[in-house]
Amino acid sequence: MSDLIKIAVDAMGGDGSPKKIIDGIIFNNKSNKNIFYKIFGDQKKILELIKTKIDEKFYEIIHTDKVIKSTDSPLEGAKRGKETSMWLAIQSVKDKKADIVISAGNTGALLVVAKLNLKMIENIDKPALSALWPNKKGMSVVLDLGANIECSSKNLIDFSIMGASLYTSLYPENKPNVALLNIGSEELKGNETIKETFKILSEKNSINYNFAGYIEGNHLMDGDVNVIVSDGFTGNVALKTAEGTANFITSELKKTMTGNIMGKISSLLNISNLKKFKKRLDPRLYNGAIFIGLDSPVVKSHGGTDYIGFSNSLDVCHRIVKGNLIEKIKHNI
């Protein structure tokens, strides 16, 4: 157990918990025997789901029947106290009993409880919410996705360093290209904060990443940039727009392929290509937003994902710890 990566899991957060969470752990354990799961939640319910499915050497259940609800405001969630499954999971990381924490629960509460328990990395003013997005050539890291509505140029520079550190933790063989999300690619476009950030990053030589200037929303998926940086307001709008577009394309294609006899014949003839297309846009493959800037990593799984999506976010946790994300940020900052 000592050489296993320890993941603290809030088993009671998100839709269909704890079943979805435990099913995700069981599925994940089939392919990864390098993780020890510290599971926080209702012991009786969890034990019924996990018993005999996983060897006991891979997990531990820490009982609590107190839960932060999805309907709670961030402050209400924090006020539910130190005995909730989310708080206890985060505290185990604070106490160095786990390497990383994951929850599919209330996002606002997770950010507040994490900030109450964990210190900021020195010289970083604000943490950021980041996630993985698919592009034509692989994956991109995008941040901030909603943790900070207003950002200074210092914050955006910090996000660039943290985003590049996250990317190299997940993909150690690549040196990332970093760009600022803006309304145009010309140097004079954008507000004063983003222009000031552009100037500083253009003059700063980093051995950890290449600065690629500005990127517009219609080029996010091109794959020429690996780390995309913005304030939380802009990043969240971009995220929701991309998610909505992907859902629209998938549902419209499904309607076209099943709406009449010719569509059904066409879908049968193209079944292999359609499966590849569906897999490429499957949000479960990209599940797991990462709250970075704190001295321990915190991962947020989408509350509505299924057990496969949750298992994928456990893989993200494993890669973050193996890639020494926090040490990379401390070194690069």
- 161: burial class by Cβ within 10 Å (0-12, 13-18, 19+)? buried
Topology given in CATH for the domain delimited by 1-124+293-326: Isopropylmalate Dehydrogenase (3.40.718)
pLDDT at 277 over 90: no
Tell me the pLDDT tens digit for each residue of 26-37: 999 999 999 999
Q: Where are the domains of the chain?
A: 1-124+293-326, 125-285
In the prediction, which pLDDT does 271 show?
62
User: CATH homologous superfamily of domain 125-285?
Assistant: Isopropylmalate Dehydrogenase (3.40.718.10)
Equal fold, 1-124+293-326 vs 125-285 = yes
Tell me the pLDDT tens digit for each residue of 157-205: 999 999 999 999 888 888 999 999 998 877 767 789 999 999 999 988 7
pLDDT at 1 over 60: no
Place of tokens 């076209």: 256
pLDDT at 251 over 90: no
**How many CB atoms neighbour CB 32 within 10 A?**
15
- Secondary element (H or E) of residue 180: strand 177-181
Cα separation of 159 and 6, whole Å?
Answer: 26
74 by DSSP, 3-state: which?
helix
Mean pLDDT, rounded, of the chain: 87
Which strands form 138-143's sheet, in the order they lie side by side? 59-63, 35-41, 5-10, 100-103, 298-300, 289-292, 128-135, 138-143, 227-229, 177-181, 210-215
Cα separation of 9 and 241, whole Å?
Answer: 30
Task: Look at strands 227-229 and 138-143 and give their pairing.
Answer: parallel
